[in-house]
Every structure is written in structure tokens, then in C-alpha cells.
């Protein structure tokens, strides 16, 4: 198992925020964590990424206890956090530079992925010169270079307009399957979760708990065909019911 959370509890000022969270992400799998805002998704996110330590419970990566340790799990937020004062190439190469790779080599290594991420020709640009979709691509490449192990995405596409978002979804599905990145996608967008994931965890309540888990079977259909199928609607109804709580 690539990423595993075992019975994670966390409270703030004595108030439990999340309780007994168990979840797993397998090698090359895309798993979504779907829930309303305020359910503790970001709290869980900070624990899984190692920024915060939980009150109790464990985070395992490759069956190794990594609770409260940053650096193994890479993540990307809704705001892309590209540094406006660094060129695209230097933004993307930053995780390598932090790891101690020499600047020239880091740039070279980053540049090798530019075509694959649809960023060709943008290396000397500044983030301000890129469109929203391009910025997300650059941020995703940076995330990929940060750690190929597991990637956490916290509503990465929610600031994009609807059309760009769809394009990003399509592109994202392709790239994620080529690169075999194990991904946990945190979102409150049901369609997004259904389009992108292999499995979906539903998180509801106060404190937030995992209340349900769905395995999405597309039966080899293309994204467009799946999205208009009765199964898609069935999943959606099931999720909507579950989220009503």
C-alpha cells in the first residue's frame, strides 16, 4: 500500500475535528476524498502531508511510519503557489534545488519533463505570463518533481473556469496514468471526483469521519461516455444522498 492512514484523530482547542480516519491509496491509484467544506479535509490534508502531527493515529507510506514527517508526500493546493519572482523553470526545479541538486542540473532535469506536461517554450516566462491552466500544469510538474511517491491535491482545479477545468481533467487523467502517480484528490466537486477517481471516500459529520467508500467502475468507457451513462448518475445520486446526512 502506497499511502495509508490509520485511525487518525485530531482536535483543535479540545474540539475534535476529525475522528478515526482510515484510508488507503494504492500504487498508481487515484482516490478522492469528497466532503462538504468544514468537514476537516484540510486538517487531514496537513496531517497526511506531514505538516501537522495528529493527536493519535498513524500515516504510513510504503508501510513505513511517516507520521508528522514532511518531505515524502508532495502536495498541491488550489492556489498554485508559484513564486512570481522566479521563472517557470526555477519554480518547477525548486524541489530539486531544496534537495541539494545543483541549479544547472535541477533545471535540466525539470526541463526534461516540460513537453510531457504541455509546458514547452514557457521555461523562461514568469508565472504572471501564464494562463490559469498553464500555471496549474507548472504547479503539478513541481509537485511531481517534489515526490513521485504520493501526491495530495487539495482542490487543485477549483479556481479554473469550467472549460479550462474540463481540459485539465482530461489532460490530468492521461498524465497521471502515464506517470503512475498515486494520488489523493481532495475536493467538494462531485463531478470532478467521479471523473477522475478510481475510488471515492465520502467524509461527513462533525467531527469528520469517513462514512462511505465507492469504487468507480468505468468498464473501459471514455470519459465522455462514462459521464453521460446511467451508472454515473447512479453514483451521483448515491453520493448526494450520503452527503445529505
Partner 1 sequence: MRKRWQNIIRFKWSALFLIAVLLGWQFLSGSGIVPRLILPSPLQVLHALISEFGVLMVHARITLWEAFIGLSLGLILSFALAVMMERWEPVYQGLYPILVITQTIPVIAIAPLLVLWLGYGIAPKVTLVVLVCFFPVVVGLLDGFKTADRDAIHLLSAMGANRWQIMRHIKLPVAMPSFFAGLKIAVAYSFVGAVIAEWLGGNAGLGVYMTRVKKAYAFDKMFAVILLIILISLLLMAVTKWIEGRVMVYRNYK
Q: How far is the CB of 74 from partner 1 (least distance, A)?
A: 8
Measured distance CA(4)–CA(23) in Å, rounded: 6
Q: Tell me whether residue 74 or residue 197 sits nearer to partner 1 (CB atom).
A: 74
Determine the Cα–Cα distance for residues 115 and 137; give it in Å rounded to an integer.
11
Q: Where are the alpha helices (DSSP H) in 147-214?
A: 162-179, 190-196
| Grid coordinates given for 219 | 468498464
DSSP bridge partners of 240: none
Integer Cα distance of 28 and 57 in angstroms: 24
Distance CA 5, CA 60 (A): 6
Q: How far is the CB of 215 from partner 1 (least distance, A)?
A: 30
Q: Which is nearer to partner 1, 181 or 239 (CB)?
A: 181
Nearer to partner 1, 82 or 194 (CB): 82
Q: Interface residues with partner 1 (CB under 8 A)?
A: 49-51, 70-71, 73-75, 77, 79, 81, 83-86, 94-95, 97-99, 125-126, 128-129, 146
* Least distance CB 120 / partner 1 (angstroms): 19
Rounded to whole angstroms, the maximal C-alpha distance in the chain is 54
User: Minimum CB separation from partner 1 for residue 75, in Å?
Assistant: 7
- Identify which of residues 50 and 133 has a Cβ nearer to partner 1 in the complex: 50
Amino acid at each position: 500500500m502506497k499511502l495509508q492512514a490509520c485511525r487518525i484523530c485530531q482536535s483543535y482547542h479540545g474540539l475534535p475535528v476529525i475522528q478515526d480516519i482510515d484510508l488507503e491509496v494504492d500504487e498508481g491509484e487515484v482516490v478522492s476524498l469528497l466532503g462538504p467544506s468544514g468537514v476537516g479535509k484540510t486538517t487531514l490534508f496537513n496531517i497526511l502531508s506531514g505538516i501537522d502531527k495528529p493527536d493519535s493515529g498513524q500515516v504510513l507510506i510504503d508501510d513505513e511510519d511517516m507520521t508528522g514527517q514532511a518531505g515524502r508526500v508532495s502536495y498541491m493546493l488550489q492556489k498554485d503557489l508559484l513564486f512570481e519572482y522566479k521563472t517557470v523553470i526555477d519554480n518547477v526545479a525548486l524541489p530539486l534545488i531544496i534537495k541539494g541538486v545543483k541549479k544547472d542540473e535541477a533545471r535540466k532535469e525539470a526541463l526534461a519533463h516540460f513537453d510531457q506536461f504541455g509546458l514547452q517554450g514557457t521555461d523562461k516566462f514568469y508565472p504572471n505570463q501564464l494562463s490559469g491552466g498553464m500555471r496549474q500544469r507548472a504547479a503539478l510538474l513541481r509537485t511531481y518533481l517534489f515526490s513521485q511517491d504520493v501526491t495530495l491535491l487539495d482542490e487543485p482545479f477549483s479556481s479554473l473556469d469550467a472549460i479550462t477545468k474540463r481540459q485539465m481533467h482530461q489532460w490530468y487523467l492521461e498524465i497521471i496514468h502515464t506517470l503512475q502517480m498515486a494520488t489523493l484528490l481532495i475536493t467538494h466537486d462531485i463531478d470532478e471526483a467521479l471523473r477522475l477517481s478510481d475510488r471515492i471516500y465520502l467524509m461527513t459529520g462533525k467531527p469528520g469521519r469517513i462514512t462511505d467508500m465507492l469504487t468507480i467502475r468505468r468498464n473501459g468507457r471514455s470519459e465522455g461516455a462514462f459521464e453521460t451513462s446511467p451508472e454515473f448518475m447512479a453514483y451521483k445520486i448515491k453520493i448526494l444522498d450520503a452527503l445529505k446526512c
